Structure 1
């Protein structure tokens, strides 16, 4: 687990430029660093040592040093791949998982990505063909950004690593703000920095002769079978246990995040680490510590936990938004930041439960209540007109019932967050920020791919492509790596996906529960109470915080700052804030989404100090070489 950055293009003082770029991501790799510079090509690497601690520094090379690699992630089937490559005459210099990528590329070319089981983002420079080959894992667990500016191709694990390059032009992408207000996360492939793009999950790119080619190598598919429920449960349990065991491989200490939910509980119960880690809040109903401690005691594992306070959280908001690279308003980022810090004091690797909801059907939005199931039995000719009519109504009781019961998922479901409607975002924003892709523009391609699925599977397909990669996994990577902690997600595994894809819809979500097959399988390792517990999902008391005068005043200062008027109607912002503060409406998520954007913008555009001068959260902990 590491971080990399680099560029292709004529650059003066390229060695110093690359060093400055690497210093921006020192938190991703505090243990060592390395670089490759030849002509106009520069690759930089920061290492967090996990496997083969002595010999795993990068860049890595093949036998004649014609192929160069920088890599972030873990390849869990590297021993199997290595065995095949040794038989074919390849010579290995290390015991790392990284080296299979080099020899795998020599043997299989770009098709190597189809053979990998793991989480990864990597870059290979092929000297003989003057070609850069880069790829991102099938679920998008590890981030990868790229940009072409002034005849220079930039790439890296974090956008902030581009900032020191003299050819990088820092400019706000005005098209990104409006969709963000609806989705709460950066949903477009072009990031909030104009001209900087995310390499999508399950894609690879080739940059050669100044031309960029991006291709998809895998698409998630759900193909249910007629296997018995008992066989499915057996397969789920066996595969998850095998995946957890594959994900435990490490030469350093491994722990586990633990909430009160079935996902992390299942992982912890199989892994049985020496320690689990949990955080919560003192506010009532906003802590999972008690449940996590109870399960840890049952398993004979020490639970390390911490109660967070609001001042502590507000003090870190600027750092958190800086670390994220782009504005992100999921409140769960806050406890995840502190949870990662807590775990990093004792271990270098943690396992977590991300991905189970998307694969096995765990979200409340996937579930239909008994009244809704009854309503859906009425004729479509009766329900659909009511659903379309309800879409035009203001927020009121019964609106969502009529929409969900009357219309197919692709006409109302956009993922696990919907903060502002498009009309609300339009009213809030100034003219310069109105030109943006619509919500329909964003979700339609994924629904087109999923048109042959039922509604449940359509929703899972959409969440796998948008919510999982741009919200859940992005914040998991950035918050854990902020503290030089490797986070592994055994549910997001090629073999687990293969098993999950075979499960019938009625075994994923039914009148008994969400994630039904997974919950039944988990009972082979968990007490029934833990297996059946409803998802809470890192609850954060932002609605309470905003009603406290000090925090109200802090948010108000951002809403009324001079730079804010370029984006928003400030009178409308204050109406949202005052309504909430006075208890008239719960506008917490809307306020928070705007607030986080303004915090991010101020950090990157109004206070553009360098990493060394301003950002001290990680710098004081690790060496900058």
Structure 2
């Protein structure tokens, strides 16, 4: 787990540029901005011809004494051909190394997973990325072809930002590093107004966008080839499909056993490390299952959770009971309102892009606590998207009767619902039933309706809608059942835009590696074949997963609804330090050209008085204002703490 930075100059070859030393120094300085991702070992490397420069920060997890990066590897006849910077872990690296040595005679100088990537690329080409079972973002320079090959894992667990300009192309694990190189790379640093509108609707900036016009993200499941003087050429190598295979009476139990077996195998491989591995543990089935499987490989497993100084908003009691049931030692972190508010500038700085999910704040604190005891944690992200865990996935069941109505009649019911009072029984059902799936569902977040958005965004554009993001995704699933289509949307939106961003950023902020065994290609292959009635019923979600986990998780969490780390912002935005901070943020913000501050003040007052619950919308706007103050206006300078953690755990 690390932070990488690579710069490919627009022109290369011949004598090194007179500015090569200055560029290398700038790369080193920019790389230092993400030292939290890899405090164990910084490094830089420059191609002798001046074509490419690497910066790197290593968090040593596997083969600690060796596997230094940037990592050099080549076949016997060209031992210095490749140079690699790599963020992530390849969990099947032992199997890959054995295959490459046996079939191709590959020779390795380390015991790590990095060499497996380079050797696989040398012998198998770009197809190598389809053989990697893990989480990764990497940049690989081939000195023979003069090409930089970059790739991201299938689900987007690890980030990779890209900027191309007059000076060349740069890629990095964190956007702040690219912004520090804007003059060298020569890209557009203006704010992307359309991305701002997408963020305000979705609570996150959807890939491949960022809020800076000149910076984009290499999308999940894609690789890119970059040559000096040319823009990146991107290819999608992972196209997820949900191809349901119905259960039969004879095969049903075997299908549950298949889920259990593939999860056991995934967790076993995710436990591979030369340092201590712990586990996050909320009160839900996903994290509990991972911890219960992990303790089989580490009987001294430590689990971690967080809660708040407010009754009714803590998962701690359930997590403690779960830890006791599986035999794990448990550590809890309790967060108060003042501590919560004080950490916000630092948290948003680590995020790079605004993410309006309050759950990332407790995740930041529990990661900081966990890092005092372990260097790696497992977590349950991805189970909901793969196995059908969100309650909203049951919506097609409740709206099924509308499918039998003529389209004109459905539309007229939507028209009839508009004048009905808000909150009136049946209004929402009529409205949702009048819409197609493509119109009503665009992921697990909806902060603003179009009418509300028009009031809040100064430059609201009605043509910029969620369909910019979802239409191409829906086009790939026209013949799937509605639940599978919703899962597919979430894989490309909510999962990689919110869930995995906060998981990566909040743990890496604390130099902690987070691993997600559910998001494994083999697990996905099993989950993708589940029929809809094995995922969603009228009374539960993740039906097949729950059946498969009956022998593994404690009974008190087996059918418990999803809660995660609930955050009391609705309460805290009505009084106390969070409300005070909100008023200060709105009054000081320089975002008037983007956000109508008077509308935000009205929302704050209505929320404070209890006449409306604007907490989710307020949080979306407030986090954007804070992001703008840090990254654009520079009026807020976060105090970045650098706790001293144990070097080896």
Normalising by the smaller structure, the TM-score range is over 0.9
Residue 154 (structure 1) aligns with: 170
Displacement of 1:614:
5.2
Count, aligned residues:
618
Alignment of 1:122-141 (within 5 A): 122-141=138-157
Displacement of 1:619:
7.2
Are 1:241 and 2:264 an aligned pair?
A: yes
Displacement of 1:85:
1.1
Report the Cα distance in structure 1 between the residues aligned to 2:332 and 2:416, rounded to whole angstroms: 45
How has the CA–CA distance of structure 1 residues 5 and 249 changed in structure 2, closer, same or farther, with 3 Å as cutoff? same
Report the Cα distance in structure 2 between the residues aligned to 1:400 and 1:390, rounded to whole angstroms: 11
Residue 522 (structure 1) aligns with: 549
How has the CA–CA distance of structure 1 residues 568 and 377 changed in structure 2, closer, same or farther, with 3 Å as cutoff? closer
Displacement of 1:41:
1.0
Tell me if the contact between 1:383 and 1:402 (Cα under 8 Å) persists in the aligned partners: no
Residue 40 (structure 1) aligns with: 51
Residue from 619, 639, 642 that aligns with 1:592: 619
After superposing on structure 2, the runs of 4+ consecutive aligned residues of structure 1 that deviate more than 6 Å are 619-623
Residue 563 (structure 1) aligns with: 590
1:228-266, CA deviations, whole angstroms, 9 ceiling, x for partnerless residues? Answer: 321211111111111111100000000000001100011
Are 1:452 and 2:479 an aligned pair?
A: yes
Report the Cα distance in structure 2 between the residues aligned to 1:294 and 1:201, rounded to whole angstroms: 36
How has the CA–CA distance of structure 1 residues 562 and 281 changed in structure 2, closer, same or farther, with 3 Å as cutoff? closer
Residue 513 (structure 2) aligns with: 486
Residue 119 (structure 2) aligns with: 103
Residue 76 (structure 1) aligns with: 91
Residue 243 (structure 2) aligns with: 223
Tell me if the contact between 1:277 and 1:303 (Cα under 8 Å) persists in the aligned partners: yes
Residue 26 (structure 1) aligns with: 35
Residue 436 (structure 2) aligns with: 408
Residue 25 (structure 2) aligns with: 16
Report the Cα distance in structure 2 between the residues aligned to 1:378 and 1:147, rounded to whole angstroms: 49
Residue from 444, 461, 464 that aligns with 1:437: 464
How has the CA–CA distance of structure 1 residues 354 and 390 changed in structure 2, closer, same or farther, with 3 Å as cutoff? farther
RMSD of Structure 2 on Structure 1 (CA) = 2.1
Mark the runs of 5 or more structure 1 residues left unpaired by the alignment. Answer: none
Report the Cα distance in structure 2 between the residues aligned to 1:30 and 1:434, rounded to whole angstroms: 43
Residue 616 (structure 1) aligns with: 640
Report the Cα distance in structure 2 between the residues aligned to 1:621 and 1:97, rounded to whole angstroms: 24
Alignment of 1:328-477 (within 5 A): 328-368=355-395, 372=398, 375-376=401-402, 379-380=405-406, 384-386=410-412, 388-389=414-415, 392=418, 395-397=422-424, 398-431=426-459, 434=461, 437-477=464-504
Displacement of 1:526:
1.4
1:61-117, CA deviations, whole angstroms, 9 ceiling, x for partnerless residues? Answer: 123211111000111111111112112121111010111111111101111111111
Tell me if the contact between 2:341 and 2:577 (Cα under 8 Å) persists in the aligned partners: no
Tell me if the contact between 1:141 and 1:473 (Cα under 8 Å) persists in the aligned partners: yes
TM-score by length of 1: 0.95
How has the CA–CA distance of structure 1 residues 501 and 588 changed in structure 2, closer, same or farther, with 3 Å as cutoff? same
1:559-591, CA deviations, whole angstroms, 9 ceiling, x for partnerless residues? Answer: 122513222222211111110011110001111
Displacement of 1:435:
8.1
How has the CA–CA distance of structure 1 residues 53 and 506 changed in structure 2, closer, same or farther, with 3 Å as cutoff? same
Displacement of 1:213:
0.5
- Secondary structure of 2:158's aligned partner: coil
Displacement of 1:375:
4.5
Residue 62 (structure 1) aligns with: 73
Are 1:187 and 2:213 an aligned pair?
A: no
Displacement of 1:514:
0.2
Displacement of 1:179:
1.1
Mark the runs of 5 or more structure 2 residues left unpaired by the alignment. Answer: 10-16
Tell me if the contact between 2:195 and 2:205 (Cα under 8 Å) persists in the aligned partners: yes
Tell me if the contact between 2:92 and 2:133 (Cα under 8 Å) persists in the aligned partners: yes
Are 1:310 and 2:337 an aligned pair?
A: yes
TM-score by length of 2: 0.91
